[in-house]
Chains A and B, each alone.
Chain A
Amino acid sequence: MSLSSLEIYKLLPKTNCRQCGFPTCLAFAMQLAKKAVSIDKCPFLSEEAKKTLEESSLPPIRLITIGKEDAKLEIGNETVLFRHEEKFYHPTGIGVILEDDLPDSEIIKIIKKIKGLEFERIGQKLKLDLIAIRNRSSSLDGFLKVIDLVVKETSSFSLVFMSQKIDFLKKALELYSGLKPLIYKATKDNYLELTQLAKSYGIVLVVSAENLDELSLLTKELNKMGFFEIVLEPQADSVSSLLWNLTQIRRLALKRRERSLGYPTLVVLEDTDKDLEILFASTYLIKYAGILLINTSEPEDILGILTLRQNIYTDPQKPLQIEPKLYPVGTANQNSPVLVTTNFSLTYYTVLGEVEASKIPSYILSVDTEGMSVLTAWAAEKFTASSIVTAMEKANLKEKVSHRSLIIPGYVALMSGELEERSGWQVIVGPKEASGIPSFLKNL
């Protein structure tokens, strides 16, 4: 939220001295509001006004980067409370906690499992972002050994080092600071030393406190030390009060521009009931957590939570679309059936999944419906006989197949007549739901 030109004007000397190259202070203020000039152009700005102006140009929630290269995770820099107001920009980073007191074989098994957790949905690859190594063993060797195992096994996750012992973290950083891990955690008791450490390595620190007042005081202390690479861990004694705290942090940062809370947040899920853990994680994911650390690496849990993240972080103004064109599925040839659908990703990939499941090589003709689903596009007259004919021509369909028949979704059966007339092709009405496609194709 930047300042308006009038708000900026109030901070200027109002002498209209023209030194800035503008005829009046107001004219200068208007350019500043548009970010078209730099504040240094006015030599008479008070220190205080300068600070206010500089701060107002910073994003209200700081963008934080953890990890290196292919494992880089960016969180924060969110601009709204509700996704419909604009969109959520940086998807919650999700990580699995690895306890360092497990036997090596167990640890390697879990790492392998985490590596295998990749899902493709609607054309996007979904995977975990972080592995958090937690020092439950209270042994330095154990801690370092597990970090070493992780580093050897994989480089595609950002790391979190979790220990209550500063000297353990120090040792771990001596070896692995180049990976830019996230350090967990600074509290009011240890922040001096940890902040120095994080600052010297240029890495991000989790700052944790029992309530928002303490959290705010702590980050101010860190700022005084010249340190800003912060992720907040608000603690709470219940799920609903944690939800409240996360909501407050987001609101205060955005609505009141509370700088001391203008950082992304982190939640460590407790290892209790497996189902509830996922439900609480879902709650925090929807309501503002920047990072979630969970205790499960079961594929069904991860698939569920990653799918939820994909949903919540989809741009509401721009439905996921695919390029409208003819897609061959399997070894499609000139005799393969042609199924017509829209270019809304969800629709296309659902149809694709079922066509693949049928194991019958086919073509899918994706019509440009501006990313609308079948029924919506039909109602909005984007999925019509004429738009289908256009798509057929563009794809040069009559050269691709030797037959002359099209399969349309059951929901738009009403357009068959017109489509037959316009295209000169035979129209076959397919099932309403994609799930009916395999049996439909088999009986064709």
Chain B
Amino acid sequence: MIKEYLENWTGLVNTVKIGATPQEGGTRRKTITVGGEKTLAFLFKEGHLPNKPVIAYEIWDIKPIDWPEELTNYYSDVWSDPLDWAEKVANVYKADLLCVRLMGIHPEINRDIDYELNFIKNLLKRVNLPLIIVGCGDDEKDNTVLPLCSQITKNERCLIGEVTQDNYKILTAAVLADGHNIIAQSPIDINIAKQLNILISDMGLSFDRIVINPTVGALGYGLEYTYSIMERLRLAALNQDKVISSPFICFVGQESWRAKEAKARQDEFYSWGKESRRGPLWEMITAVSLVLAGADILVMRHPKAIEKIKEYIELMFKNNF
């Protein structure tokens, strides 16, 4: 008889909870818990995997400038008002989680701060899903606006980001004060990921409120780097390296839809096949690869791709949950 080879993992991934219900002092309809893995992806016979990977719909506070036609087809009817966009993904596409990217605060666009804060306030009223809020990537603007967003969503237990090794103090302090979780971004680098988690926790934010963004490369565009960094981080977590035992958030949609293979129309590249299928497929394959590497939260864009990945995850967990 063959004796199966089971690894004896002694560590586990931290559990992070997003969203707060009225009982918990928030206004969200439900909460979402990620992390807690005691083995690698889908190896149910080896260790407990208490939480399924979840998908967050990415929405913006402004009409996106460079989203390809394949995405425009699904969203252009609600782009005149980001609140309509949020409602559409919540009600029509039955999103579990919402990721709002505040592109409008970028210096090149420079939306009024009050306008942005009003948008967030109204978003809380119109959609009662747990929220992820991310900035525009400009440190200065993010440091001005995100702490205010943190304040007005106090006690909703959002996931807010992102902080980096060179810019973490201001947002970490705000998130700590207002009861949220934080996204720690590191550039495909284990040591920086580790260092940043230490810096954040030194400020008093506990490890169970940190989610790591390992930085995503899409299929064909550096996917293998992200894949291996995540696998290494996850193995470290399972071997009890407490400092980097954080769940992962992966911005799959953002990266996948930058790929030429996702965007290009068939009349430009005839041999690549139909873009209506190729685009979502590019996002899906990127997502599945990262789920296998241990992704906990996938931030995605295409409704069809999201639906399929959900189905994939359900099938993988079937009879194992």
Contacts and interface: CB of A to CB of B under 8 A. Distances in A.
B288 A312 contact: no
Nearest to B1: A213
Contact of B273 (A121, A276, A298, A305): A298
Contacts of A117: 271
A300 B278 contact: yes
Output the residue of A216, A244, A298, A300 with the most chain B CB within 10 A: A300
B44 interface: yes
A308 B288 CA distance: 11
18 contacts: A83-B231, A213-B1, A238-B315, A238-B319, A239-B315, A240-B316, A261-B2, A275-B281, A276-B312, A278-B281, A279-B288, A279-B308, A282-B289, A283-B288, A286-B289, A300-B272, A311-B219, A312-B224
Nearest to B270: A299
Contacts of B271: 116-117, 119, 299
A252 B2 contact: yes
Contact of B45 (A82, A121, A244, A308): A244
B27 to A, nearest CB: 36
Contact of A299 (B1, B219, B273, B289): B273
A287 interface: yes
Contacts of A261: 2
Contacts of B221: 346, 350
Output the residue of A84, A279, A286 with the most chain B CB within 10 A: A279
Contacts of A101: none
A279 B285 contact: yes
Contacts of A353: 260
Interface string A266-278: 0000000001101
Interface string B292-321: 100000000000000011011001111110
- Provide the main secondary structure of the chain B interface: helix
A84 B273 contact: no
B223 A311 contact: yes
A287 B292 CA distance: 9
B235 interface: yes
B277 interface: yes
A221 interface: no
A210 B159 CA distance: 45
Contact of B277 (A239, A298, A312): A298
Interface of B: 1-2, 4-5, 42-45, 187, 219-224, 227-228, 231-232, 235, 258, 260-261, 271-275, 277-278, 280-282, 284-285, 288-289, 292, 308-309, 311-312, 315-320
Output the residue of A238, A283, A353, A373 with the most chain B CB within 10 A: A283
A435 interface: yes
- Provide the main secondary structure of the chain A interface: helix
Contacts, number: 134
Contacts of A255: 5
A125 interface: no
A256 interface: yes
A252 B5 CA distance: 6
Contacts of B280: 275
Nearest to B315: A239
Contacts of B45: 244
A163 B3 CA distance: 32
Contact of B5 (A251, A260, A275, A286): A251
A104 to B, nearest CB: 25
B278 A282 contact: no
B281 A300 contact: yes
A258 interface: yes
Contacts of B222: 346, 373
A278 B311 CA distance: 13
Interface string A395-419: 0000000000000000000000000
Contact of A121 (B220, B227, B318): B220
Nearest to B277: A300
B136 to A, nearest CB: 15
Contact of B320 (A119, A240, A316): A240
Contacts of B318: 238, 240
Given A283-B292, A299-B272, A299-B273, A247 B43 contact: yes
Given A300-B273, A300-B274, A248 B5 contact: yes
A261 B5 CA distance: 13
Contacts of B281: 275, 278, 300-301, 304
B292 A286 contact: yes
A435 B262 CA distance: 13
A83 B274 contact: no
A287 B232 CA distance: 15
A176 B282 CA distance: 38
A421 to B, nearest CB: 27
Nearest to A313: B224
Nearest to A303: B272
A2 to B, nearest CB: 20
Given A82-B235, A279-B285, A286-B292, A240 B219 contact: no
Nearest to B44: A240
A276 B219 contact: no
Enumerate the 6 nearest inter-chain pairs by beta-carbon distance, A residue then B residue, closest first.
Answer: A300-B273, A299-B273, A300-B278, A311-B224, A251-B5, A84-B228
